[in-house]
Chains A and B, each alone.
Chain A
Amino acid sequence: MSTENDTVKTPQKSDYDDKFGSAEQQETIEKLTQSDYKWGFTTDIETEVAPKGLNEDTIRFISAKKKEPEFLLEWRLKAFRYWQKMQEPHWPNVNYPPIDYQDAYYYAAPKPKKELKSMDEVDPQLRETFEKLGIPLDEQKRLAGVAVDAVMDSVSVATTFKKELAKHGIIFCSFSDAVQNHPDLIEKYLGSVVPYTDNFFAALNSAVFSDGSFCYIPKGVRCPMELSTYFRINAANTGQFERTLIVAEEGAYVSYLEGCTAPMRDENQLHAAVVEIIAHKDAEVKYSTVQNWYPGDKNGVGGIYNFVTKRGICLEENAKISWTQVETGSAITWKYPSVILKGDNSIGEFYSVALTNNYQQADTGTKMIHLGKNTRSTIISKGISAGKSQNSYRGLVRVSKNADNARNFSQCDSLLIGDKCGAHTFPYLEISNTTAKVEHEATTSKIGEDQIFYLNQRGIDTEDAIGMIVNGYCKEVFMELPMEFAVEARNLLAISLEGSVG
């Protein structure tokens, strides 16, 4: 056997030098990159839809359908008129074909809709959908006290644990129910954190939002369970416009979870949600998200456009708002969960894991606006880009003139898997107070060959090794998630990584 033949048969180390250690590892990666979206399926439920297109009639239709009070219709129309004058923004680091806002349905409600008293009455097909998602509703009751307000195509279909919550005076219901039963609260808080003039997509949402969740924790109450809502986009070609409003009165505490998966489809879908959080004196709100909408196939076809406005305000002293997000889905993610630190001594936190693969694009981060004295904020952002994806962190830390002794610590790390992806960091620091202490750190690196080698050596294959390393890298964020969610997030990351490593 000649040496020449040897060199033909054995791939040279240099072939893989810039990637991963060995040919075998390369193959594993190659294989895994091919894997498809595991959770793609559509449920066949007849939906009642508004006519295609967007005009004042559509809005009146939605409002009438939902039997909304006059003030809400007026507000929607004001938002719509304002929206018409606005230009769609194009500053983020993402690319997508122009959206035709007239070529979409703005309202779709699942049929049949009737009052449900127990789980048995829920449409079996619907329940099956949740089974596939791994959220069996009937099990939820037994599970560690998680109440689920399941939103199926904009209209809430089942609400559990209502009685338990009612005992504490907690209101947790769909947005439409809140409009019917607590219009005073809605009128008081709706748009107080994210006014309809805020941005293009917030205006659009304000005009046409279909449903969402409303949560109100009265003074001094500590919510006894994690509140959870599963959003799910279902009817084809329907823009999804959720509206979430959370109000925590003085001394209240709530941990709110939001998680999503979506069916596979070819056409891009716009999702422009708005989340508003109001934390009064000494209140604490913890908002956790796991987002795994359809990211498009491996050629970048299809997938959800996730253009979301999320903002909380620490209205009075000692309030605390904490955002935790795990973003693995959507073709384009564009969102900045923010905190306005208005009350003295208030605290804002942002923990994020954003994973992009194939042709996914993410432009996400946070804004911490320090207005009150002794306000503190922490930002931990972990970006992972793989395939041909683009992942950007964009964050703002603003310390205003009167925010004495404000503190901020930001850490933004990027991990690159493969040499065709991109990681970007755009932090903005605007400081106008001498006593401010603001620190920002960012690093970019790739998964270490030596780490993979170390794990391989101990009998762990490359796929698991990468999963382990990435999970370790994200640990700081996962620790902030509630227990059930943390497990789910870890699984989700592992599944997403299957398709992402390469």
Chain B
Amino acid sequence: MDSEKKDIREWYQTAFADFENSLNGGASLPFHAVRKKAIARFAELGFPSTRNEDWKYTNIAPLLKHQFQPVAEAPDIAAESLAPFLFKGLDADRLVFVNGVYNEALSSVSNLPDGVILDTLENAFTTHADTVTQALGKTVSYEEETFSALNTAFARTGVFLSVPAGVVLERPLYILHVSKTEGREFLAAPRNLFLFGDNSQARLVEGHYNLDGGTSFKNSVTEISVGADALVEHVRIQDESKDAFHFATTQVEQATGSNYTSVAIDLGGSLVRNNLNVHLAEERCEAHLIGFYFGSGRQLIDNHTMIDHAVPNCESNELYKGILDDRAHGVFNGKVMVRPDAQKTNAFQQNQAILLSDDAHIDSKPQLEIFADDVKCSHGATVGELDDESLFYLRARGIGEQEAHAMLRLAFARDIFNYIKIDAVRERLEELVVERFNNKA
């Protein structure tokens, strides 16, 4: 095991050299020095074992059995093949990435309001060098965590969005990631940077899908800065192949009076780890972290969230729900930190899970760390099965067992979907989930 870990670590170090050569001009940019430091740091950090508290329930051994190759060029895909992932009736600007590589032909961006910058990170390195250099890596450091280091080392592109103060993006931005492995086990390291100015408003929809099954390793890092009184809604849908490894770190920084909502839906992937960290850096912020996951087969879905109340008068609200079937394994670790002097904090956290099979397993760890006294904080966690009485009620009205089950599960999930304000996305998602339930029922 240890030798395997070492081997695979060396593999990524070797892969880095190839990656460097494929960068062409990219290797001469200032960011490349950061990549080099990150790969060196990665070599020191190594991969975490389950003896590390943050990875106590998530064994990444399966990931270390593969040698994932960074991609430079993505296969061509037909525009029609994206159809299942486009939400019917959704009027949005769209950026499409295939295997982590930007595909301009499939993307469509309308006229954006003045001052808005929307580009790939790769372009932004040269066109907006100052802004990017200043902001990138400011909140997610490659120093501390293996997967952030690995992402920094292999970061080639991603989305760069800057919305100036006072601007409202009327149309949502849809970032669509599709994978097509064609038998090649590839590594993608999307790196996104979102900067929202004061009083701005935006809606982001992120989708992660797969076209041909197969094994891939996506390790993304997203940094989001929400300016004063800005309003940001962020929906993230992950429905990768059942053999995919999906690691995502999202770090949100909030300024005075801002409001950030994250709705994270996880349906696919064989090993999924989401780190969602929100730093409430200034007063009167509001953060809503909402999530739903449905695991079947041998999936492992791990959601780690951290809400850091650093100053007084902020509010956070967290609700994660999961359904686990077959041999699926769910992990929830939600930490709420209330720093000294962060008085008048309101923090609520709920985590609910339903197990459908005796081989399914949930590890839930809601944590409160509180250093201020005038606060209202609570958390709750429940694990159980579908309510017998509700089931009986439905059956008594002539509804078949399977259908009744599906109805109750949908009702359970709908609490989460209702947080999605974009109708087209919510409706499609409900359809999709019902389909999954019926396949499993």
Contact = CB atoms under 8 A, between A and B. Distances in A.
A444 B378 contact: yes
21 contacts: A414-B368, A414-B370, A419-B372, A421-B371, A422-B369, A422-B370, A429-B365, A429-B381, A430-B364, A431-B353, A432-B360, A432-B361, A436-B355, A436-B383, A437-B385, A439-B380, A440-B382, A441-B380, A442-B378, A444-B378, A446-B374
Given A18-B374, A419-B373, A430-B363, A425 B355 contact: no
A445 B359 CA distance: 38
Given A414-B368, A434-B355, A445-B376, 14 more contacts: A401-B358, A419-B343, A424-B367, A425-B368, A426-B365, A427-B367, A428-B363, A431-B355, A432-B355, A438-B381, A441-B380, A443-B378, A444-B370, A445-B377
A434 B368 contact: no
Interface residues on B, range: 35 or more
Most buried by A among B358, B370, B376, B383: B383
Contacts of A445: 375-377
Nearest to A445: B376
Q: Would you call the interface of chain B mostly helix, strand, loop, or mixed?
A: strand
A418 interface: yes
Interface in A396-435: 399, 401, 414, 416-435
Contact of B373 (A416, A430, A437, A438): A416
A429 B383 contact: yes
A91 to B, nearest CB: 7
Interface of B: 53, 57, 340-341, 343, 353, 355-385
A428 B364 CA distance: 6
Given A443-B377, A445-B375, A425 B367 contact: yes
Given A419-B343, A429-B365, A446-B373, A440 B360 contact: no
Interface residues on A, range: 35 or more
Nearest to B347: A444
Contacts of B381: 427, 429, 438-440
Q: Would you call the interface of chain A mostly helix, strand, loop, or mixed?
A: strand
Nearest to A410: B381
B383 A419 contact: no
A358 to B, nearest CB: 16
Nearest to B355: A434
Given A18-B374, A423-B370, A442 B365 contact: no
Given A416-B370, A419-B374, A439-B380, A434 B360 contact: yes
Contacts of A422: 369-371
A399 B360 CA distance: 12
Contacts of A441: 378-380
A425 B376 CA distance: 14
Given A431-B361, A434-B358, A440 B380 contact: yes
A427 B368 CA distance: 9
Nearest to A441: B380
B376 to A, nearest CB: 6
B382 A439 contact: yes
Interface in A36-69: none
B152 to A, nearest CB: 29
Contact of A427 (B357, B365, B372): B365
A440 B378 CA distance: 10
